[in-house]
Amino acid sequence: MTASLTKQPNVDQWLSIGADGRVTIRSGKVDIGQRISTAMAVIAAEELDVALDRIDFAPVETGVSPDEGVTSGSNSMQDSGQAVRLATATARRHLVEKAAAALEVDPSTLELADGLIRSRDTNRSVTYWDLQGDQPFDIAIDPEVSVKAPETYQLVGGQTTARGMTELATGKTEFVHDMTVPGMLHARVVRPPHYHARLKELDESVAQRLEQSGFRVVRDGSFLAVAGADEYAVIKAAERLAAAANWNMGKGLPTRDIYESLTANERVSLPVADGIPRKEPVPPLGDPPTDAALTLSARYEKPYHMHGSLGPSAAMAKSEGEKLHIWTHSQGVYVLRESLADGLGMDEEDLHIIHAPGAGCYGHNGADDVAVDAALVAKAIPGTPVLLKWSREDEHAWEPYGTCMAMELRASLDADGSVIAWSQESFGDTYMMRPRSSPDGDGPRRLLPLRYRAEGVDDPVPQPAMRYHVGIHRNLDPLYIFPEPRLVKNLVRGLPLRTSALRTLGGFANVFAIECFLEELAEAAGIDSVEFRIRHLDDERARDVVKAAAEALYAGDTPPNRGRGIALSQYTNSKAYAAVGVELEVGDDANIKLHRAVVAVDAGQVVDPDGLAMQCEGGFIQAASWTLHEAVTFDRDGVTSRDWDSYPILRFGNIPEIETILMDRPGNPFLGAGEAIAGPAGAAIASALHNATGLRLRRLPFTPDAIRAAAME
């Protein structure tokens, strides 16, 4: 059983059937554009034998939905999808048994069609809603229940329009930003210049004039906000309040070169074996094997990345007596409730959190923090709904980033070109600052606004993540067959920026480094890079995606002035397999033009092929943006990349033609696919750049300046 089913083992926690013929599916995973609500509806309709348009996907909210932690790690289909599958299959079997008893026939004589159960012998029938409408099942999910065989599928694997697509296309979808309720106030927070600044003094005459003009000024220590009925007027009032604030700047942000800091700062270093860190001494690197014909070393680097949500974060909150209600686009309403209740000294049952659609984000962006902002203002103005939105500057400068990283690799080849020694050390800050509570009170410390209250919490001190493929060491283990690889994760202290989960965690950087280094080894050995990969793989499914991507990428001659490259990964060495190929051109201005991309992915049983293809394409585009453009910048006084000019992203004009090859595995388990593409996409771009120019760039992003500098070396 999955962790989701172990925690919520009953059918009623996942499924209900109404007397009106509607079937409601509940999940603890939120749909943030990855179409999991569509995929789960398809699974439920297939197993229950009902029309797809009968299925409703309930909003995720505390106290109602299953507690599945956070929507992250490409776990939704593997965990929640499987739970829904088993819950609906158990319900179907139960309803057939009830129908047989009601119709006084043998269950084997019954046929199902869109919730109608009919006996072939008597032609009598009964519906699901006749049997179960508005009534609890009161049964446990059977993890061994028989599910539909792939050859009987009517919906799984077919073409399906995404749920809510019409509303999105016509502008009818209501995001949390759009919420409007009677008596609602708008609010804005006045931010300090940087994390460590604290409010020294406030010109009280300005605050008083604002109050006299109908605004509410909320101050709690260094937490400063203003609320009012008119949103634009609140924005202008926040500007006046900001001008009236005097901040103690402290020491500011550390400005030492981050790539030097990654290996020079204090750090916690742990060896990693089979994907899990060990509390053991790190083995020394030592000398290369005596039979090594060739030994290479290389260091790869990536900067801080932001989530870059196109819409800034927002939340609504309302305080009523002992109760506090929050509407948020958080990816983990239960973990947010636990930590916020702890931070506010509330009982968890008095904190009700409802997921509402918001700006798309894969990871821990500002959604949790803005929910806390709204909660603090709402508690200061009880009985009044408060809608609080971050500005673009808030989002760019205050969200938790994906950490900068450095990867140091060394490998030796024998005379036949086989890898006989492999070492990789990865350095970075934490990816694990979602607001998960813990016995030492770490949960509230992970919620940024709570640090600025008069009775604020201390900054958290991250500890190494010790689980399988989590954080810095995600995909640190090569998928390839290398004898006794030496793998080390280094959690670095004292780095300047706040970090947390960003799509793939350490997987993007680690796969980028591994796959780029494999290209260097193959070239040094004089072996084709595709052949080099295949000879070091014993997983047939990994080999299959490499061959499929290579066949599509290398069909025909490479056009003049273009380069091609390929890379492979299996996300967390346990989820979807992905091979990515890229064809690109480098212009005279040193700008990279992406012409073509090929993505071959094996995600097990394919439920929603359009949704899976969309995830593959979106994953490639995001990784291409990281690879070519993105880097958070800062100085002593704070983050300086506060808009789309100072933090450029990939534009529509450089999105290539993308060919997606879905390698369906009917009857096989679902494999999480959302994050599988990023690492190999970045490495394939690097390989294609080398193929086109002869340049090997090892520090991201590959900007024109970086390419020109490499050409001058």
CA distance linking residue 421 with residue 671, whole number of Å? 30
Strands 486-492 and 185-190: unpaired
Angle among Cα 238, 242, 244 to the nearest 5 degrees reads 120
Take residue 221 and report the two structure tokens written for it: 């220590």
pTM above 0.85, yes or no: yes
Q: How would you class 320 by CB atoms within 10 Å of its CB: exposed for 0-12, middle for 13-18, buried for 19 or more?
A: middle
Give residue-wise pLDDT tens across range 225-274: 999 999 999 999 999 999 999 999 999 999 999 999 999 999 999 999 99
Domain 507-712 CATH (choose: 1.10.10.10, 3.30.365.10, 3.40.50.300, 3.20.170.30): 3.30.365.10
Q: Write phi, then psi, for 502 (nearest 5 degrees).
A: -130, 145
CA distance linking residue 388 with residue 595, whole number of Å? 42
Q: How would you class 592 by CB atoms within 10 Å of its CB: exposed for 0-12, middle for 13-18, buried for 19 or more?
A: buried
Take residue 116 and report the two structure tokens written for it: 């109608």
C-alpha count within 13 angstroms, C-beta hemisphere, residue 51: 6
- Calculate the dihedral angle through the C-alpha atoms of 166, 171, 172, 175, rounding to the nearest 10 degrees: 110
Residue 634: what pLDDT? 98
Q: What is the mean pLDDT of residues 369-390?
A: 98
Residue 77: what pLDDT? 85
Q: Which residues are CB-contacts of 152 (< 8 A; sequence separation ≥ 6)?
A: none
Domain 178-251+309-398 CATH (choose: 3.40.50.300, 3.30.365.10, 2.40.110.20, 2.60.260.20): 3.30.365.10
pLDDT at 713 over 90: no
Strand partners, 10: 140
Give residue-wise pLDDT tens across range 575-605: 999 999 999 999 999 999 999 999 999 999 9
CA distance linking residue 568 with residue 512, whole number of Å? 10
Q: What is the mean pLDDT of residues 552-575?
A: 95
DSSP 63-105: TTS-----S-TT-IIIIIIHHHHHHHHHHHHHHHHHHHHHHTS
Give residue-wise pLDDT tens across range 462-481: 999 999 999 999 999 999 99
Give residue-wise pLDDT tens across range 292-313: 999 999 999 999 999 999 899 9
Task: Indicate the pLDDT class of residue 461, thresholds 50, 70 and 90.
Answer: very high
Give residue-wise pLDDT tens across range 68-105: 988 887 778 888 889 999 999 999 999 999 999 999 99
Give residue-wise pLDDT tens across range 132-170: 999 999 999 999 999 999 999 999 989 888 888 889 889
Fold identical between 3-142 and 507-712? yes
Mean pLDDT of the chain: 95
pLDDT at 1 over 80: no
Task: Indicate the pLDDT class of residue 218, thresholds 50, 70 and 90.
Answer: very high
Q: What is the mean pLDDT of residues 488-503?
A: 97
Instruction: Report whether 18 contacts 134 (CB < 8 A).
Output: yes
pLDDT at 314 over 70: yes
Task: Indicate the pLDDT class of residue 439, thresholds 50, 70 and 90.
Answer: low
- % of the chain residues with pLDDT over 90: 92
Q: Which long-range contacts (CB under 8 A, 24 or more apart) does 277-285 make?
A: 277/464, 277/465, 277/466, 277/473, 277/489, 279/466, 282/488, 283/486, 285/410, 285/423, 285/486
Residue 36: what pLDDT? 87
Residue 164: what pLDDT? 86
Take residue 360 and report the two structure tokens written for it: 């798309």
Q: Which long-range contacts (CB under 8 A, 24 or more apart) does 43-47 make?
A: 43/81, 43/84, 43/85, 43/88, 43/156, 43/607, 44/15, 44/84, 44/85, 44/88, 45/155, 46/148, 46/153, 46/154, 46/155, 46/156, 47/85, 47/88, 47/89, 47/92, 47/147, 47/148
CA distance linking residue 275 with residue 572, whole number of Å? 8
CATH code for the domain defined by 258-306+401-492: 3.30.365
CATH code for the domain defined by 3-142: 3.30.365.10
SS3 533: helix
- For helices 333-344 and 367-380, the axis angle rounded to 10 degrees is 40
CA distance linking residue 677 with residue 649, whole number of Å? 18
Instruction: Report whether 286 contacts 423 (CB < 8 A).
Output: no
Residue 710: what pLDDT? 96
Matching residue, tokens 């453009």: 629
Domain residue ranges in the chain: 3-142, 178-251+309-398, 258-306+401-492, 507-712
